[in-house]
Structure 1
Amino acid sequence: MSDKVDDLFLLIESKRNTLTAVEQIIADYFISKRKILSISELARKISVSPPSITRFSKKLGLNNYKELVFLYKMSLSDQTQDASLISTPVTASYHALATRSDASYRSEAVKNFCDMIYSTRIILFWGLGFNSFAGQDFEFKFTRLGKFIQVYSDQHSISLSASSLRKNDVVLISSLSGEDPDILEAIKQGKEKGAHFLLITTNEDSPFIDYCDETIYAASFSSNEALGNISPQIPVLIQLDIIYSKYVSMHRKSVNKWLVSENILKG
């Protein structure tokens, strides 16, 4: 190995954004701490070619698969109870999502979200299915800061709310696929009335983007993560936590005022 590398898991995550779809599958195998196999056995197990595994090894800065296996064994044996290390396939997936979320972070986009939220007291949240759970989290956080949040979680209510939008109303949309034609029509309808739209999605080609004032890209799931071992709203929740943290940092005086008021009411 040309450079000293201490932890294969951290090395893999540091290279996540450079990996192809096939290489992501190989990465997920090792991140999940699965059985050590020969290169041919591994190729059959995860349905990739041996040359793909060799290319993956070299992309990590290793000379070959043999070096990758050596580093894998060393990384496994060195792991302790330290919370920063990956201990199970589930926590490995969380770690991978967090890393990919960090890589897609755009400070200006988050600031624009916060500015839009600050500029209005009433915010509509559109999200179908699991996205509605993220909406409830958004509602909980920002209601404490004096905002009125209305979550719409089915197609009918979203369409109705679009028909009643007014100029300068703010709508936050959570849609990982970013492709629902009915939501697109609702966005167009609201845009014609002068409403503002914020979008959280994983789809960089979403037709929603052209109609939204700002877009934040959530981390997409790998093939293994998409099987259901990770709650599908997690990538959105990560972005909402980033937005909330930035908002509190930007508007600390206003936030403190509302939190003091909340404590008085509780007393």
Structure 2
Amino acid sequence: MTQQLNDIFLLIEAHRLDFTNTEQVIADYLLSKQKIATIEQLAQQIAVSPASITRFAKKIGLGNFKELIFLYNLSLGADKDDGIQVSSSVTASYHALATKSDSFYREAAVNRFVDAVYAHRVIQFWGLGFNAFVGEDFQFKFTRLGKFVVIFNDQHSISLAAAAAVTDDLIIIASLSGTDVSLTRAAKTAKQNGAHILLITTNEDSPIINQTEETLFAAVLERQEQLGNISPQIPMLIQLDMLYTQYIKRHKQTVKKWLQAESILKEKR
């Protein structure tokens, strides 16, 4: 097998974004953990051709259906193991991610993010899919510090926000892949309207970077680990935690003022 991984379920999730519609059907069936005897039986059960199943096996790095069914049955058996192995696997993955995140840290870039956030009371946060959860975390953290954060989490609202952007607006974009065409187009429009644009991504070749004033690069695990036992937004959240920590460090007095105001409001309740 070409992939150094003995859990087919993680392997399938690691390739999820590359699947065709037919391959998505195959993936969903395998993830449902049904018993499988032959390629013909599987093909009949989910109404696809045996050739499609063979292509699926090769898509996830296996040689043929025999390797697929071997690894599938092996993974089904592993599900019966105790929770210690699961805990160790997840912990190891988080440790690897934390180590890589530390190596990606660029203080100058983080400080430019901090300066931009500090200079703007109103901040737009753009993110699609899982990236929208990153926006919610940003909103929770910085609303407490006196910022008004508006989250745009679908292509239509982002396009409208870009068209309505004016000089000195601050827009933070979170995009794990950094390849979404609609986000790239919206960023270009907002920049032409005079907005300041910041980006958080894992893709150093993202076309969105050309429209931004600064970029934070989040760490990403190897392909076979990337979307398995770690939620995909975690690398982005680590970058936000670094940003938030640096913001508090550099603006202690402002932060103290807002936290005191928050305490007063709680007492009045």
**TM category, shorter:** 0.5 to 0.7
Q: How does 1:56-67 map to 2 (within 5 A)?
A: none
AA in 2 matched with 1:217: F
Tell me the TM-score normalized by structure 2: 0.67
Which residue of structure 2 aligns with residue 182 of structure 1? 182
Aligned-partner SS, 2:222: coil
- Mark the CA change 1:213 to 1:245 in structure 2 (over 3 Å): closer, same or farther: same
Offset of residue 266 of structure 1: 1.0
Taking the aligned partners of 2:157 and 2:215, their CA distance within structure 1 comes to 23
Shift of 1:227: 3.7
1:163 aligned partner? 163
2:172 corresponds in structure 1 to: 172
Q: Does 1:119 align with 2:139?
A: no
Counterpart position of 1:262: 262
Give, as a single letter, the amino acid of the residue that structure 2 aligns with 1:119.
A
Cα root mean square deviation, aligned: 2.1
Q: Map 1:130-145; keep pairs closer than 5 Å.
A: 130-145=130-145
Instruction: Indicate the SS of the match to 1:216.
Output: strand
Match of 2:191 in 1: 191
Q: Aligned letter for 1:89? A: S
Alpha-carbon separation, structure 2, partners of 1:117 and 1:226: 30
SS at match of 1:112: helix
Q: Distance in 2 between matches of 1:155 and 1:253?
A: 38
Secondary structure, counterpart of 1:208 in structure 2 = helix
Aligned counterparts of 1:236 and 1:202: Cα–Cα separation in 2:
8
Contact residue 135 and residue 151 of structure 2 kept, 8 A: yes
Alpha-carbon distance, 1:87 to partner: 5.9
- Residue in structure 2 matched with residue 153 of structure 1 by the alignment: 153
Secondary structure in 2 matching 1:124: strand
The structural deviation recorded for 1:241 is 0.3
Q: Quote the offset at 1:220 in angstroms.
A: 1.2
Q: Which residue of 1 aligns with 2:37?
A: none
Structure 1 Cα separation of the partners of residues 90 and 209 of structure 2: 32
Identity, in percent, stands at 55
Shift of 1:161: 0.8
Letter in 2 for 1:132: A
1:123 aligns to what SS in structure 2?
strand
In the TM superposition, residue 211 of structure 1 has moved relative to its aligned partner by 1.0
The aligned counterpart of 2:22 is: none
Q: Partners in 1 of 2:118 and 2:253 — Cα distance?
A: 13
Alignment match, 1:253: 253
SS at match of 1:197: strand
Query: Match of 1:34?
Result: none
Displacement after TM superposition at 1:225 (Å): 2.3
Number of corresponding residues = 191
Name the TM-score, length of structure 1 as normaliser: 0.68
Task: Give unpaired runs (5+ residues) of structure 2.
Answer: 7-60, 63-85
Alignment of 1:35-50 (within 5 A): none
| C-alpha distance in 2 between matches for 1:223 and 1:131 | 19
Unaligned 5+ runs, structure 1: 1-21, 30-45, 48-85
Q: Is the 8 A contact 2:173 2:200 kept in 1?
A: yes
**Structure with more of its chain in helix, by fraction:** 2
Distance 2:217 2:154 in 1: 22
Is the contact between residue 220 and residue 226 of structure 2 (CA under 8 Å) also seen in structure 1? no
Distance 1:146 1:251 in 2: 12
Cα offsets for 1:8-60 (capped at 9, x unmatched): xxxxxxxxxxxxxx9xx76x88xxxxxxxxxxxxxxxx98xxxxxxxxxxxxx
Which position in structure 2 is the counterpart of 1:220?
220
**Could you tell me how far apart the structure 2 residues matched to 1:126 and 1:173 are?**
5
Q: List, as ranges, runs of 4+ consecutive aligned residues in structure 1 with deviation greater than 2 Å.
A: 223-228
